[in-house]
Amino acid sequence: MTTNTQSRTQWLGRWGFVLAATGSAVGLGNIWKFPYMTGEYGGGAFVLVYLACILAVGVPVMMTEIAFGRRGRGSPIDAVRRVVTESGRTSAWSLLGWMAMLCGFMILSFYVVVAGWSFSYLWKMLTGGLAGSGVDDMVAIFVANNENPWNLGFWSTLVTLATMFIVGRGVQAGIEKSVSWMMPGMVVMLLVLIVYGVFSGGFGEALRFLFVFDAGSLSSDGMLAALGHAFFTLSLASGAILTYGSYLPARASIARTTLSVALADTLVALMAGLAIFPVIFANGMDPGEGPGLIFMSLPLAFQAMPLGTLFGILFFVMLSMAALTSSISMVEATVSWLCDSKGFTRRAAAWGTGIVLWLISTLAMLSFNLGADWTLAGKHAFDWLDYLTSRWMMPLGGLGMALLAGFVVRSEIFREELGLSPAWYALWLFMVRYVSPLGILVVFIDALGIARV
């Protein structure tokens, strides 16, 4: 066994890990990003590739990451190094841990801006700022909300503070407690919105848009986007799941927990699509509207339904909570690394990380106003952070993890950690050795235009 299993914190409850990992997975990626990407990339074909990526790449890689975390009992850097050393190999592989940590940090830098949108819409709902607005007003309100850097900066700063406050309090009191009541609430809210969608007149069109596969509508770029989103939505290759896995008690089943997290995440994304697209189609809005999609469409739905303001408030509370249970997981890797390896107290690690984060997230925030012209190759900071992480770092990190687990690490280690029957173990090995890496490579090579598949 590894050297330092005794001292590390573990989840308190039997459901601690599943709740926290689900809290990390289910977030803005499901409710904000999945719908607008599906809209941008043309619907059903994107959804199909995304689902295939979850199964063929996401699930095996998630199992691998949890196993790395639990075996190495440390931050991504330390855990990967320990497992590789235990296999008698060189520790250059811990670069993968570094990349994951950086990736989680970069994601959070733009994530707090989007979470800030959610908080500011909650405020608008509470204060009646959306009442009586039509389609065009909703677009104008979204734009106006972004135009003022003080306004936008206020909300993203608030999210940063809240994130660091929770993380600073620790794994059990901070993270575990906050996720145990908000996940069920989220699901109830989405069900209410779907019921509304069924009666809105746009439901049939939404179903067709999401689930009818039209091969012609999917570009190579769309496939790479779907792959990247599979990583993003499951919180993979960014340190979150690995670090949460490092607190997982030895007796828990990695396969079972992975399947529940992936299933919950997928269901919430599809539910979000079913809640949002009927409103889009019933109101003649453009599904390819981009990042503002849910903020422009859902408030319309709330307005038209009985008790809409109340539901609107509840929804944005839930969305904000979903964002927070994800944002805390993105810095947990960095914070646990600072505590374990650099001797920081947890509080100092959280606030130190928070300050650096705040500086970078301010750049992302300014992309929507003052810095709208500060672009590089047509993208501003917000887009770059999203693009680099989802399209490059996560797929490459996942590829590295799969190859490392499949070919480098001693096979007893994963056999022990995963605790699978021989047949299931063989399937997992086949996935991480061949299916996941080839899947990632094919999408990459296609997107780079080197070959056409």
Separation of alpha carbons 294 and 189, rounded Å: 14
Q: Considering beta carbons, is residue 28 or 45 the nearer one to Na ion?
A: 28
19-27, 86-94, 402-410, 440-448 -> range binding ligand PFF (CB under 6 A): 19-27
Query: Among residues 57, 49, 39, which one has the least CA distance to residue 395?
Result: 57
DSSP at 216: G
- Should residue 324 be labelled a site residue for ligand PFF when binding is judged by CB under 6 A? no
Q: Residue 299's binding partner, choosing from Na ion, ligand PFF, none, with beta-carbon cut-off 5 to 8 A by kind?
A: none
- Should residue 235 be labelled a site residue for ligand PFF when binding is judged by CB under 6 A? yes
Q: Report CA-CA distances (Å) from 381 to 143, 356, 385, 443.
A: 18, 15, 6, 25
Q: What are phi and psi of 276, to 5 degrees?
A: -95, -45
Binding residue (CB under 6 A) for ligand PFF from 240, 261, 274, 431: 240
- Should residue 28 be labelled a site residue for ligand PFF when binding is judged by CB under 6 A? yes
Q: Residue 107's binding partner, choosing from ligand PFF, Na ion, none, with beta-carbon cut-off 5 to 8 A by kind?
A: ligand PFF
Give the shortest CB-317-to-ligand PFF separation in angstroms.
17
**Contacting residues for 389 by C-beta, under 8 A, at least 6 apart:** 103, 106, 107, 228, 232, 238
26-34, 59-67, 315-323, 354-362 -> range binding Na ion (CB under 5 A): 26-34
Give the shortest CB-377-to-ligand PFF separation in angstroms.
24
Quickly list H helices, 127-202. 135-147, 149-169, 177-198
Quickly list H helices, 246-292. 254-282
- Should residue 334 be labelled a site residue for ligand PFF when binding is judged by CB under 6 A? no
Q: How many residues of this chain bind ligand PFF (CB under 6 A)?
A: 17
Tell me which H or E stretch contains 399: helix 394-403
Give the shortest CB-62-to-ligand PFF separation in angstroms.
11
Separation of alpha carbons 237 and 391, rounded Å: 12
- Should residue 29 be labelled a site residue for ligand PFF when binding is judged by CB under 6 A? yes
- Should residue 233 be labelled a site residue for ligand PFF when binding is judged by CB under 6 A? yes
- Should residue 27 be labelled a site residue for ligand PFF when binding is judged by CB under 6 A? yes
Tokens of 307: 């008790």
Tokens of 312: 């609107």
CB burial readout 361-375, b (16+ within 10 A) else e? bbbbbbbbeebeeee
Give the shortest CB-384-to-ligand PFF separation in angstroms.
16
The DSSP bridge partners found for residue 376 are 379
- Should residue 104 be labelled a site residue for Na ion when binding is judged by CB under 5 A? no
Q: Residue 384's binding partner, choosing from ligand PFF, Na ion, none, with beta-carbon cut-off 5 to 8 A by kind?
A: none
Q: Considering beta carbons, is residue 231 or 281 the nearer one to ligand PFF?
A: 231
Q: Could you give the angle at the alpha carbon of 403 between the alpha carbons of 399 and 405, nearest 5°?
A: 120
30-38, 64-72, 193-201, 348-356 -> range binding Na ion (CB under 5 A): 30-38
- The span from the first CA to the last CA of the chain, in angstroms, equals 45
Q: Considering beta carbons, is residue 183 or 330 the nearer one to ligand PFF?
A: 330
Per CB under 5 A, which of residues 195..234 are in contact with Na ion?
A: 233
DSSP at 202: -
- Should residue 29 be labelled a site residue for Na ion when binding is judged by CB under 5 A? yes
Tell me which H or E stretch contains 166: helix 149-169
- Should residue 312 be labelled a site residue for Na ion when binding is judged by CB under 5 A? no
Q: Residue 28's binding partner, choosing from ligand PFF, Na ion, none, with beta-carbon cut-off 5 to 8 A by kind?
A: ligand PFF
**Contacting residues for 126 by C-beta, under 8 A, at least 6 apart:** 313
Separation of alpha carbons 313 and 315, rounded Å: 5
Per CB under 5 A, which of residues 371..430 are in contact with Na ion?
A: none
43-51, 172-180, 235-243, 361-369 -> range binding ligand PFF (CB under 6 A): 235-243
- Should residue 104 be labelled a site residue for ligand PFF when binding is judged by CB under 6 A? yes
Chain residues binding ligand PFF by CB under 6 A are 24-25, 27-30, 104, 107, 232-233, 235, 238-240, 326, 329-330
